[in-house]
Structure 1
Amino acid sequence: MAGERGQEPPSTVQISAAEEPGAERGAPAGFTFSAEPSLEDIRRLQAEFVAERGWCQFHQPRNLVLALVGEVGEVAELFQWRAEARAGLPGWAPGERAALAEELSDVLLYLVSLAQQCHVDLPQAALRKLDRNRARYPADRAHGSARKYTHYQPPPAGACPQD
């Protein structure tokens, strides 16, 4: 993570190109995450890593939010000044893909640490959010549209229709 760079040798990250044929609606065909480690495994491993180094004092919610924002900025920097990137990032060099994997990993680790510190069960919260989004964005009405969820909600009773 940001503060730990230079303390350990960089790891070798293998990133394979996403499958292009059959890709539909911007999703790489056949791409899935590995089954292991689980999000709980990552939480535990990160907590052990922090505890072994005596960094708990530095991993309070405010510190983690600021670190998370910084890491998201580093992800954004990798996309800055580039043409629109398609799913699978065709044309990206292996080193660029490895750098993205490193930065996305930093984002994940800080996010998981923040969720732990705030006592948020992240997998359950994500499932609840998906359920909420399904209700806000009905597939039959929101398909292919980028409008905000308020567009799909019925107007309040007694409201005047607006053109």
Structure 2
Amino acid sequence: MSSIAELTESLRAFASERNWEQFHTPKNLAMALAGEVGELLAEFQWLTPEQSAAVMQDPDLGPRVRAEIGDVTIYLVRLADTLGIDLVEAAVDKLAEAGRRYTVEAARDSAAKIGQL
């Protein structure tokens, strides 16, 4: 499986086979997503910038980070599907908006927010 569409269909089938659609409300999925993001953040807590950049080389942390990113992805894809949002289209639209707000000339080499540029 290599596409978001295929993953979406697999997750939809997984939930349907278990009759979980009743629990997969936008609110519940958003809350589950937030919880999984928190678990991902916990794996990075207290790491130095250098350690965080090399996390996938760590034999203990790397697999945990990968698993948490998997959980985050599952809930994000399921939430988007439940709301009828095309994830790729939403991301492309958001990137285009960011490009208009953060022009290369204004934002290059700066981490400032748009109001600070």
TM-score normalised by length of structure 1: 0.66
C-alpha distance in 1, partners of 2:49/2:79? 31
Q: Match for 1:46: what amino acid? A: L
Query: 1:126, CA displacement in angstroms?
Result: 0.6
Q: Match for 1:147: what amino acid? A: A
- Which runs of 5 or more structure 1 residues have no equivalent in the other structure? 1-35, 153-163
Tell me: higher relative CO, structure 1 or 2? Use CA pairs within 8 A at least 6 residues apart. 2
Alignment correspondent of 1:131? 96
TM-score normalised by length of structure 2: 0.90
C-alpha distance in 1, partners of 2:58/2:51? 14
Query: 1:118, CA displacement in angstroms?
Result: 1.0
Is 1:141 paired with 2:106?
yes
Is 1:118 paired with 2:83?
yes
C-alpha distance in 2, partners of 1:55/1:110? 13
Out of 23, 34, 48, the residue aligned to residue 69 of structure 1 is: 34
Query: 1:86, CA displacement in angstroms?
Result: 5.9
- Which runs of 5 or more structure 2 residues have no equivalent in the other structure? none
Where is the strand percentage greater, Structure 1 or Structure 2? 1
C-alpha distance in 2, partners of 1:82/1:63? 30
C-alpha distance in 2, partners of 1:69/1:115? 14
After superposition, the Cα gap between the structure-2 partners of 1:70 and 1:135, relative to the gap in structure 1 and judged at 3 Å, is same
Q: How does 1:43-58 map to 2 (within 5 A)?
A: 43-58=8-23
Q: What percentage of residue pairs aligned between the two structures are identical?
A: 36
* Number of positions where the alignment pairs a residue of Structure 1 with one of Structure 2: 117
Query: 1:120, CA displacement in angstroms?
Result: 1.0
Is 1:101 paired with 2:66?
yes
C-alpha distance in 1, partners of 2:100/2:25? 34
Instruction: Assess if the C-alpha contact under 8 Å between 2:56 and 2:63 holds in 1.
Output: no
Q: Match for 1:114: what amino acid? A: L
Q: Deviations over 1:129-154 (max 9, x none)?
A: 000000000012201101111344xx
Higher Cα Rg: structure 1 or 2?
1
